[in-house]
Amino acid sequence: MHILLIEDDDRVAAALRPALHRHGMTTTRLDHGRGVVEHLDGVDVVLLDLGLPDSDGLDVCRAIRAVSEVPVLIVTARGEVSDRIAGLHTGADDYLVKPYDIGELVARVHAVQRRRKVGADGTVTPAGASPVTVGDVHLDPERHEVTVAGREVVLTRKEFQVLALLARADGAVCTRAQIVSEVWGRGWAGANRTLDVHVATLRTKLGRPELIRTVRGVGYRFAATED
């Protein structure tokens, strides 16, 4: 997998590139955002910092999205909910706040790549509507259907969206802010409590409370087996 790393901080890039290489990835690094679209050929995933010296990272994301569907993962120190929402609305596939764990970053890189698939004509399209199976849980977005060991489970729209987001992350952690911004589209006082209630209901309805695991202080992850 080839990563285009857009990062102006030499120390961050010097630490990150060897870590990515150890996970079997190759990298090209840019320390600026202007002209980035000229470097997208052969790129599987873009890691995009927002604080660039010559342009705002959100403008860079818009420029990429105007010409390509390559997965974009924003990695930035901007951690406010409004920043995350803006990044995702701009067209990013995921959003990770610094400092982050390298294992989580690698998992998210794989996850955003899996969410898109290459068509017969070579174009890359979102794979969000594809069915997802984790253990004996099967989720079909197009049919809005969830089954557990062949038994259909009826979910509300929001419950289904939360479960789909967690399932598509393929074991990676989904932060509270990410879930709230993607499912509800905004943050508000009480959002964390609302999310907790939806997760508790999902655990009950699925009858598999161990599948949705709490990552204390971060969010939730969905996994069929113990790591």
The tens digit of pLDDT for each residue in 5-48 reads 999 999 999 999 998 988 888 999 999 999 999 999 888 899 99
Q: What is the pLDDT of residue 169?
A: 78
How many Cα atoms sit within 13 Å of 149 on the Cβ side? 5
Report pLDDT for 10.
Answer: 94
Share of the chain above pLDDT 90, in %: 39
The model's confidence at residue 186, banded by pLDDT at 50, 70 and 90, is low
How confident is the model at residue 48, as a pLDDT?
96
**pLDDT tens digits, one per residue of 65-78:** 888 888 999 999 99
Residue 213 has pLDDT above 50, yes or no: yes
Confidence of residue 60 (pLDDT cuts 50, 70, 90): very high
What the chain holds in terms of domains, given with CATH numbers, is 2-119 (3.40.50.2300), 132-222 (1.10.10.10)
**Over the chain, what is the mean pLDDT?**
85
> What is the pLDDT, as a whole number, of residue 225?
57
Lowest mean pLDDT among 28-42, 86-100, 104-118, 139-153: 104-118
Per-residue model confidence as pLDDT tens digits over 113-130: 876 654 434 444 444 457
pLDDT over 90 at 59, yes or no: yes
pLDDT in tens, 150-181: 999 999 988 988 998 888 777 788 888 878 87
